[in-house]
Amino acid sequence: MIQIFEEGYFVNNRITDSRLSSVLNETKSFSAGTLMPNKTTVFLSHKHSDLSEMKDFLGFLEKMYNVAVYIDSKDPNMPENTSGETAKRIKAIIKKCDKFILLATDNAIESKWCNWELGFGDANKYINNHIAILPIKKKGINDLYYKGKEYLYIYPCIAFYSGSEKYKDGSFIKAGYYVRTKDSNGNSNITPLSDWLKKR
């Protein structure tokens, strides 16, 4: 079973509100069509009500992997009211970004927009292994009650390995974060998250 992170797992990486405001400048670059050639760009799909979880994971990505993350709620060119133009802009940004990650909280799983973004990301990123979900459950609940269980079998997932797990050959997996995928035979394969993010 793939690990499902609890809300607050990445809290030690939380960015400040002032840092979140400065994301606006970076998002302007995305918005203007100028991506950062020296950094992997990530479209982070999330439910806007999951602000704390988004700030935690955004801080984790920036601190540990030095990537540029697009946050649609910080895009000054996004229409004030959701419309067809909103969908058009989101499609264009997903296509331009190197990676697509869904912050797969219960709220995001129930969100029509997050699911729409995931579907579009799937169509544009899955074949090249540029899509992953980060499963996050409510604090204190059993994994069985996580609302996105079926997603764990469909999409590559970000997971943490403690160093006690083993490869099929019996050697230990180095502790760290990985992207876990399944091949056509149902066998699991893992790639260090750092390597996955570097592949563009």
Q: Confirm whether pTM is higher than 0.85.
A: yes
pLDDT digits (tens, 9 = 90+) for 114-137: 999 999 999 999 888 999 999 999
Predicted confidence at residue 83, as pLDDT, reads 75
Please report where in the chains the tokens 């180095």 appear, as a residue: 174
Rounded to whole angstroms, how far apart are CA atoms 85 and 170? 52
Rounded to whole angstroms, how far apart are CA atoms 30 and 145? 36
pLDDT digits (tens, 9 = 90+) for 55-86: 999 999 988 998 888 888 777 677 777 778 88
| Dihedral angle sign, alpha carbons of residues 43, 64, 130, 33 | positive
Predicted confidence at residue 31, as pLDDT, reads 56
- Give me the residues of the chain with pLDDT under 50, please: none
Q: Return the domain boundaries, the chain.
A: 5-159
Predicted confidence at residue 82, as pLDDT, reads 77
Predicted confidence at residue 71, as pLDDT, reads 83
Predicted confidence at residue 34, as pLDDT, reads 57
Residue type, 86: T
Distances from the Cα of 128 to the Cα of 8, 51, 132, 200, angstroms:
31, 29, 11, 9
Rounded to whole angstroms, how far apart are CA atoms 46 and 48? 6
45, with CB counted inside 10 A (0-12, 13-18, 19+), is buried
Rounded to whole angstroms, how far apart are CA atoms 192 and 95? 23
Domain 5-159 fold:
Rossmann fold (3.40.50)
Tokens of 156: 């590559």
Residue type, 10: F
Rounded to whole angstroms, how far apart are CA atoms 119 and 112? 10
